[in-house]
């Protein structure tokens, strides 16, 4: 028990908080992929672009190229276009056939699938081209990005530069996924494992219990599966913590089964 406290910093004051149960939910961060020109003004991660648009104050540029992989590419392209930007092209690294193979899983979340479809229709309506199996090679310019070179990717994402194309753009949006923010879990000495999407993540059981007693992990720090899954994992961890403190919940087992069922559906969709 003696070691169970957290050192926290708040408003320039350090303090310690003793705990009996701890739920770690430290989220994730966007993954930065280095390539020539990646540090030039105008090259931005998709989350940064979204923040600028959502703040309603800044339009990141005029001619935008979006590269990377995942549904965020399409969402950000639509948001940029609605904000008045010209979208020269979206370059999704995964080949179309790989994405098409996953369409059955979309039936797990019909509303989200419909939202996705309506975004694809938006792209079509506004003649925004979507290229599958293509990705970034380099950003060219100085000091600001002026051109972007893209090329078809092989199945292990090596660009075929003999077929590269260079496009004029003053914004390059990059979205190659997220890495778990698991430093705190590592510092605490929790058992870790490697996940091909999220990098180093803490090992948890079906109740979100980590390898050290009374420590639970939930959300993007464990598995990148979106906001709904993060909330469900948080609930399961909270129930497990209450149970460990002998605070009896009526119907705990049934509640747990229902949450796990929802969570599995959410994972399949993601």
Ligand X SMILES: Cc1cc2nc3c(=O)[nH]c(=O)nc-3n(C[C@H](O)[C@H](O)[C@H](O)COP(=O)(O)OP(=O)(O)OC[C@H]3O[C@@H](n4cnc5c(N)ncnc54)[C@H](O)[C@@H]3O)c2cc1C
CB nearer ligand X, residue 54 or residue 261: 54
Query: Which of 85, 40, 91, 79 is CA-nearest to residue 61?
Result: 85
For ligand X, the binding residue among 61, 94, 151, 220 (CB under 6 A) is: 220
For ligand X, the binding residue among 219, 223, 237, 266 (CB under 6 A) is: 219
27 binds ligand X (CB under 6 A): yes
119 binds ligand X (CB under 6 A): no
**How many CB atoms neighbour CB 191 within 10 A?**
11
Residue 118 C-beta-side C-alpha neighbours within 13 Å: 6
The answer for residues whose C-beta is within 8 angstroms of residue 215's C-beta and 6 or more apart is 21, 22, 24, 188, 190, 209
d(CA 29, CA 46): 11
State both tokens at 8.
């926290």
Query: Which of 148, 155, 151 is CA-nearest to residue 169?
Result: 148
266 binds ligand X (CB under 6 A): no
Closest distance of CB 219 from ligand X, Å: 2
d(CA 253, CA 267): 21
For ligand X, the binding residue among 44, 50, 138, 263 (CB under 6 A) is: 50
CB nearer ligand X, residue 149 or residue 198: 198
Which residues from 69-98 bind ligand X, rule CB under 6 A? 72
H/E element, 130: strand 130-132
For ligand X, the binding residue among 95, 177, 199, 226 (CB under 6 A) is: 226
Which residues from 136-175 bind ligand X, rule CB under 6 A? none
Stretch that binds ligand X, among 35-43, 125-133, 208-216, 217-225 (CB under 6 A): 217-225
Interaction site with ligand X (CB under 6 A)? 25-27, 30, 46-47, 50, 72, 181, 184, 219-221, 226-228, 230
């Amino acid at each position: 028990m003696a070691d169970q406290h957290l050192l926290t910093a708040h408003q320039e004051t350090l303090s310690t908080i003793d705990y009996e149960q701890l739920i770690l939910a430290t989220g994730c961060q966007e993954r930065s992929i280095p390539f020539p020109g990646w540090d030039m003004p105008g090259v931005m991660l998709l989350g940064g672009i979204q923040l600028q648009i959502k703040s309603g104050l800044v339009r990141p540029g005029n001619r935008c190229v979006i590269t990377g992989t995942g549904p965020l590419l399409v969402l950000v392209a639509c948001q940029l276009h609605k904000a008045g930007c010209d979208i020269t092209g979206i370059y999704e690294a995964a080949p179309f056939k790989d994405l098409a193979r996953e369409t059955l899983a979309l039936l797990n979340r019909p509303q989200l699938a419909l939202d996705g479809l309506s975004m694809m229709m938006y792209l079509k309506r506004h003649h925004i081209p979507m290229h599958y199996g293509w990705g970034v090679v380099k950003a060219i310019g100085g000091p600001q990005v002026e051109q972007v070179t893209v090329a078809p990717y092989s199945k292990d994402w090596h660009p075929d530069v003999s077929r590269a194309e260079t496009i004029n753009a003053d914004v390059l949006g990059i979205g190659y996924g997220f890495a778990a923010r698991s430093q705190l879990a590592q510092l605490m000495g929790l058992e870790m494992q490697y996940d091909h999407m999220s990098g180093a993540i803490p090992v948890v059981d079906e109740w979100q219990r980590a390898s050290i007693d009374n420590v639970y992990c939930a959300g993007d720090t464990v598995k990148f599966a979106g906001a709904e899954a993060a909330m469900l994992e948080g609930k399961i961890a909270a129930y497990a913590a209450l149970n460990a403190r002998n605070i009896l919940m009526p119907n705990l087992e049934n509640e747990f089964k229902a949450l796990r069922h929802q969570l599995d559906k959410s994972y399949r969709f993601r």
